[in-house]
Amino acid sequence: MTESSEMAGKLAVVTGGAKGLGYAIAQLLITRGARVCIIDIDAEGLSRAVASLGGAGKAEGVAADIRRRDDAHAAFAKATAKLGHVDVLINNAGVYPRKPILEIDDEAWDYTFDVNLRSMFHMTVAAANHMKPRRAGSIVSIASIDAYIPYAKNAHYAAAKAGVISLTKSFAQELAPDGIVVNAVSPGPIDTPNLRALGIYEDLAKSTPLGRVAAPEDIAEVVYFLASGRNRYMTGETVIAGGGIIMI
């Protein structure tokens, strides 16, 4: 089986796909034969991404804020209408806030959990309801190595990503009888403009056993495996792709 044939004709939704890791995932899925609908809150960035990915026939876009149930379900319905149906959901939408733990107020806490965890929950419920009648589907969510080890100023982010891992297990257990596999990926640091803007890129690269920060494409390949037909027997798992920072 060739790489392209594994995803040929598959229809995928990628949240937060207008840039960074989400864009790399969407691009790889399209390269391997899938048609993709990106859901992103950044309407302008979304339009640029869809055009860059090849436009209609390869990529579609839905501009939406998916932090609340009704909005998330409406966005998934719009994506489904554009694609016809959905075989794969990639929960990538997220934010990476940094604030000392004693300075995290309710607003910062709620925003971090809304984007990184609540949206994942709502989108996965929407996808599960859609996939169950077909008795097939794959859902992959992006967690983080921060869920396993403490980093200064990342407590609320780490807690939300630990929730992603926990929900992944719960969804996997309940949806297994319906033929739906649910997994997650915990990346280490990824080379994105946002990471470089934090001024910690060089330190992260030096502290990684492999000696570099991941390219978005490195993580996209792991996501692709879990989402594709190559994954025939993994569900409820979180794959750590951290360059050796965590070894379990």
Tokens 């379990």 map to which residue? Answer: 248
120 touches 94 (CB < 8 A): no
Q: Using CA of residue 140, residue 10, residue 133, residue 68, what is the dihedral sign?
A: positive
157 a catalytic residue:
yes
Question: Which residues make Cβ contacts (< 8 Å) with residue 88, sequence separation at least 6?
Answer: 10, 11, 12, 13, 29, 34, 137, 138, 139, 140, 227
Two tokens, residue 97 = 């806030």
C-alpha–C-alpha distance, residues 121 and 178, integer Å: 18
Q: Closest Cα partner for 161 from 129, 200, 115?
A: 115
| Residue of 23, 96, 111, 157 marked catalytic | 157
Q: What angle do helix axes 155-175 and 119-131 make, rounded to 10 degrees? A: 10
Active site residues: 157
